[in-house]
Structure 1
Amino acid sequence: MPEVPSSASEKARARLSLEQFEALLAALRSDGWQLTGPAVRQGAIVHTRLSGAEELPRGWTAVQAAGRYTLARREDEALFGYSVGPQSWKQLLFVPRLRLMRAQREAEGFRVEPEPAEPPRLALIGARSCDLHAIAVQDRTFLEGPYEDPDYAARRERLFVVAVNCGQAGGTCFCVSMGTGPRATFGFDIALTELLEGGHRFLAEAGSERGADLLARVGAGPASEDELHAADAVVERTARGMGRTMDTTDIKDLLYRNLEHPRWDDVAQRCLACTNCTLACPTCFCSTVEDTSDLRGEVAERWRRWDSCFTLDHSHLHGGNVRHTIRGRYRQWLTHKVASWWDQFGTSGCVGCGRCITWCPVGIDITEEVAAIRATDGARSGA
């Protein structure tokens, strides 16, 4: 895993031309890394396998609001001129569907076939600070508890991370409120800030020895003082342009003492329990296990797949559902995300990426719900 730098100021930052950036991607491929990064597909900027810089969303941005996402052309040729898309990197580490076991019938029973041990070596291109924080949150779930998830651990170890400091905030972003961005401060091998004025180039910061070695190989040179200031200005401008804010003061106790607040009834009337928010969320980790067999009974398989606390069966225990109402399921999700997650993992489960707001089909806004409860703290349903 990439080492964690103590601070951005303690790492030398270098100038990387557009041609050197393209060479960097080519060097990663030649070293055996599979490039995975943003590209325009079917009206969205999604993560996909890349062959090189020519597939990046040059000149594209995304306009996001509650329940709304559209692509728009920029007035420049920025490669990373957008905030975040519908997908996080969760799908590559905690994969949506994973076969846990396959058993083949033999004469005297079943033979369990081992699963492939080594996932591909992935180079994540364009990872944002909020998503790096989300990976760290999932690390606590899958790596730092009493039991380590072997598949997650194997995938996590085989990453090279090229982060990008955000040059544009999205309409639903609130990473500043959560202390998770827009500057990447840890979890990367290389972090880039895209500069457009005075020539298209990047300011590059190494976060690991292999990142520093790669920058040296492609000939990254020293940055000027003007370029250092310009890169800092990009991040500062993005921080001032957040589309949303969330007041996190005493948020855990705020939600704990408002479990019967009438706002839960209000949001339940709008929520479709469609699970979009949990699937788009970069930290949600609910899953279920399914056993299947073929019609002849020759092969049996066990699969893990993503699930959601919004599905009715997810809370099914001993013949009944613990949370049988949408009100109860939304309350569970929100209070877990920003309150009880602190009790479990010592951190918030929300990184302020805004995906749950953008991809909610009815435009439910987590920042608006928290603000509404705070505004009428102590109210009770039916009062």
Structure 2
Amino acid sequence: MLPKKMYNMLYFSICCYKGFFHIMATLIKSTQLQATNFAYIELSEKTLKKQLSLLFPFAGAICAIITFTYFVSQQGHYFTVAGILGMTLCYTLAALNRTLFSASILFWIFLIATTLICSTGFYFTGARHISNTIGLTIPLLSFFALQIRTAAWYSAIFGLLYIILSVSEITNKHMQITSALQNICAYSIIFVMAFLLSRHRYDAILQVKKTTTNDFLTGLLNREGLLPLYQNESSRCKRYRRDISMLLINIDKFREVNDRFGLDAGDKTLMMAAKCLREICNENIHIARLSSQEFCIIIPDANIQAAEKFALKIRNEISQWILELTSGHQIKITVSIGITNIEYQDFRYDYIKAESALMRAKSWGANQIATYE
């Protein structure tokens, strides 16, 4: 037995130790945690603001160089004044871009101003070359920040104007044809390059977005991708007083597949199950992979009896599929299925019902179907 004094000191030390770690504990609220969306490369308002913060000052610097060049060459005060106005506009837009002002509106102001400067420049002999150069930047600017269709229309209309203005002052017919061909070729190359770059970016955005709504392994929807469809279908069926059902499918003894054949075989098994489900389900039925070996199916316009019949079809079909590994081993799987009628417009509650039915099916053994009652 410890002396009472030593016991009290030991007890005090333990209390201080626990109190210290209690103070040092970090509390994280669920509202602070958000899933990462890697579709950040989409040209959103925030991204556009960041890119315009580089474009506007750079364009202002170019205007300053042009202004200085015309000033020292003494070609006319209107060129110098135009350069000063362009520089002022660019730096004004750069300042506004640091505020809450819409980046899209600022870009349209810049694009229209650039178009007007380019168009009016053709009426001055000393500015024709720089107008030709500015004109070739219009497609790049358009596809840089506008939607592909809008950028294509704007660039195409300006392209016609650009070619007409660039040859209108040439009196020699032979020179007009030569100049027109040169401008058409140059503008077409820039237009196609800008379009292809924009299309490449758009396709990359779609691929990144797809990873946020689709399962990377099976290609099926994930929970984030299923939720909007669940909301739409449940609302529609409720509005038109139609039944809608949910199936929760779990692969039986899936851990044994991983333990015996390895994780790669487990992945292939999931892919096989997903392929089987896709072949059974038509385009009106929504399939998702929610977790490791759990799949969810939403069947619109189907009551419990129709859902049970469909679940029986799934169970029988999957049991007939065989996965053959490169090692020669064969894997057969069975599934347990929980069925419920969707009555809430909150996925969490309907999922709990389906999971309850699934747990009852699992408790009966493998390859079973249960309905929530």
Q: Same fold (TM over 0.5)?
A: no
Q: Normalized against structure 1, the TM-score is what?
A: 0.20
TM-score, with length taken from structure 2: 0.21
Name the structure where strand makes up a greater proportion of residues. Answer: 1
* Structure of higher RCO (CA pairs closer than 8 Å, 6+ residues apart): 1
User: Which structure has the bigger radius of gyration?
Assistant: 2
